Chains A and B, each alone.
Chain A
């Protein structure tokens, strides 16, 4: 079975789509924790299994936001959230960078 056909099958079956999305989110977060380009890849994976291009882009961006949320929760758990808030420019780069990576990654959904 070719990749396009597999993708089409994932997209068309609700259960498989949700499962694939969940796997993509977990893989994406893991990759993003290792390197910022992992967020791009994660967003692309999440977007690719969505039914339409529009939904794919939205899901990719959503993945980026989720990634930021997970990061903020991890900061809160180690008591570093206040320090992060005070970092101003560093925090903007930290959050803005991964969200932008997710946006660009989600555009991969447009290719097929």
Chain B
């Protein structure tokens, strides 16, 4: 009997302890993840309610077989309310993540590993810039529509949240128009934020100006400019001065991790009616952005009383950035015009000199909240030029403060410009809309159904002035001497730079109306001597630009009209101009290298320079280049630079790598020896990794921002390399993303495109990566302006 009682007591106690213990110790985890009831599993139900009330009136969303929402509405506000509803359904987490990232509040949900990021974004105070932009936009029609969009997004706050919120255990705050402004700033920063000037100034200080100019050339020596006329005047401002400034090692490396990633770029081209088979213009675009799961892009089709557009936008932005309407189609590539400057100062007693007076920094202390850690305080400092970036870890605080002026830190009007563009019905109206594109810096390529074409550079380019005279800006300016001032620029406020002659007037920005044909691939826009203003500190390497211009010139010269298939063949083009330039130099060194390296060279000897997945030569070349850069640049940089600097941060780029003079000091033993060493390392690596062809190495491996394997896309082999039009950078996972080909003759069939992955950001959706294979193989889908018949969601007028 005693035994029985004891057993009952023990089991009873265990049952009670288990119930209480599980609730106290793991209740939160089980609430989120327990089989069956965990909140994470809510998102398995992908269905949206068939009927939703909208304060703005009737609308429908019809999802097609690729998960693309086609939205039709009775009013513009109802249209954008429904657009917000669709984005909220498909991308709520990515939207919230972008907002948190730009406002410096990522650590609040992710933890200490992202505190450095938050410190940077807090110091640059993008949030204040977004608020200033919103204040400026209030009263504009785009602002009204952004409010409706936000309301649509927020209808999902009470619905099952995407699984990422369960993983991080937080709930999103309501979406706001300011959050949309932050998403716009994030896009602009990712296209233009570069600290190259600081690296160049550092190399000039440590190794001399000649070496700095060799590693970071002001201009690449090629003829494949976007515009080739010489009617734009003469350049103002010297461009050959660097102003050596040894920027603190920790600061440079810290900042480098927040700049625009290497490889951000794009291709676009437009063909006038003279040269197409149909007699109507055609245009194509493929932006090169980070390839993520889910993709950066969100595809949607909107049809309202004043707006009918299909295209891609970014999570959190209501208006398509690249797309097509009933009247026109357009695309964008990064223009690399210069919208950022750096200023150093003399300081005394905590103040900085500005002209004849010492001024106090405008200082504010902000808190970066940290999940599962101590909140951190960040000192946000500003000078008259902009926010001060300094690095406060490891006691390495910069003695000489560096302030940043960036065009995106003032109030901008791009949202209104974008809306006007979607509604434009002529080239004239399109240009008027583009005049409001204050940022980012873009090459805009356009074609319309009236047979017109356009190339226009948009985005403000400040006219820097020292003592009232225009100057070039490829240097760190002496802020104390008032060098490189931006007249009329007001960080975090409304700038008066249009009125004060502080920016290049829109009409003077590089453009060409009705070009017969023209291609852009982020290369030099125009020769400096042909343009009347300082435009850019540097452009992208010209490999793609050379190839694009060559192929367009060849086709037009041949007299054979351009058709859809030719346009596709350009987007599929895997010719790598890097290889065309450098492989002959490698082969010329074959007499001076050993047998093992010679075997690899043999594979390159009859190669057509195409980066195709089944090519062994493409594999060898793609792996040779990084080893060659290590061999050439690392030893000398490591010797010359402070121990705390990472030499790899200061390597010359790919163009410098393949065009270095063989007699250069970078080849102390001669170029053939460098080639041999790099080939040896390549052979060792190929053997170790077991790679046989390029496709074994060149797999697209789209990661999720949370770095969880189950959220990533399955790796898939693809074609293309860093130097080809079909662009893919495996190491940084950046490359051709959205591709569109738009013929302006409607009888020529619908526009076609590829989407990098899937439109729905829910990893349990059928559309999470349903388009990945099509993207990897560059096969196209219909992206025309037809609406599907069956609505998925119907909006009826009424309050929630």
Contacts and interface: CB of A to CB of B under 8 A. Distances in A.
A18 interface: no
A93 B34 contact: yes
A67 interface: yes
B763 A107 contact: no
Interface string B350-383: 0000000000000000000000000000000000
B37 A34 contact: yes
Contact of B10 (A38, A86, A87, A110): A110
Given A37-B23, A83-B763, A86-B710, A107 B34 contact: no
B7 A53 contact: yes
A86 B709 contact: yes
A71 B36 contact: yes
B174 interface: no
A33 B41 CA distance: 10
B19 A40 contact: yes
B38 A36 contact: yes
A97 B19 contact: no
Interface in A89-111: 90, 93-95, 97-98, 100-101, 103-105, 107-111
B161 to A, nearest CB: 15
A41 to B, nearest CB: 9
Interface in B765-779: 766
A7 interface: no
B33 A67 contact: no
Contact of B15 (A34, A95, A98, A105): A105
Interface in B35-77: 35-38, 40, 44
Given A53-B7, A80-B44, A104 B37 contact: no
A2 interface: no
Contacts of A44: 15
B766 to A, nearest CB: 7
B306 interface: no
A98 B763 CA distance: 23
A3 B44 CA distance: 41
* Interface bin, chain A: 35 or more
B26 interface: yes
Contacts of A39: 34, 36
A33 B22 contact: no
Given A53-B7, A103-B18, A107-B11, A33 B764 contact: no
* Interface bin, chain B: 20 to 34
Contacts of A35: 37
B788 interface: no
B55 to A, nearest CB: 33
B246 to A, nearest CB: 46
B12 A88 contact: no
A66 to B, nearest CB: 11
Interface centre among B37, B40, B167 (most CB of A within 10 A): B37
A73 B109 CA distance: 33
Given A53-B11, A83-B763, A93 B33 contact: yes
B29 interface: yes
Nearest to A104: B18
A33 B37 contact: yes
A104 B25 CA distance: 14
A104 B14 contact: yes
B37 A36 contact: yes
B38 A100 contact: no
B31 interface: yes
Interface string B2-34: 000001101110110111001100100111011
Contacts of A83: 710, 763-764
B31 A78 contact: no
Nearest to A105: B15
Interface centre among B8, B11, B12, B764 (most CB of A within 10 A): B11
B710 A87 contact: yes
24 contacts: A32-B36, A34-B37, A36-B31, A36-B37, A37-B19, A40-B18, A67-B35, A70-B36, A71-B36, A88-B710, A93-B26, A93-B34, A94-B34, A94-B35, A95-B35, A97-B29, A97-B30, A98-B35, A103-B18, A104-B14, A104-B17, A105-B15, A107-B14, A108-B15
Interface of B: 7-8, 10-12, 14-15, 17-19, 22-23, 26, 29-31, 33-38, 40, 44, 167, 709-710, 763-764, 766
Given A94-B33, A107-B18, 9 more contacts: A83-B763, A97-B26, A97-B29, A97-B33, A100-B22, A105-B19, A107-B12, A110-B7, A111-B12
**Cβ-closest 5 pairs across A and B:** A110-B11, A104-B18, A36-B34, A86-B710, A107-B15
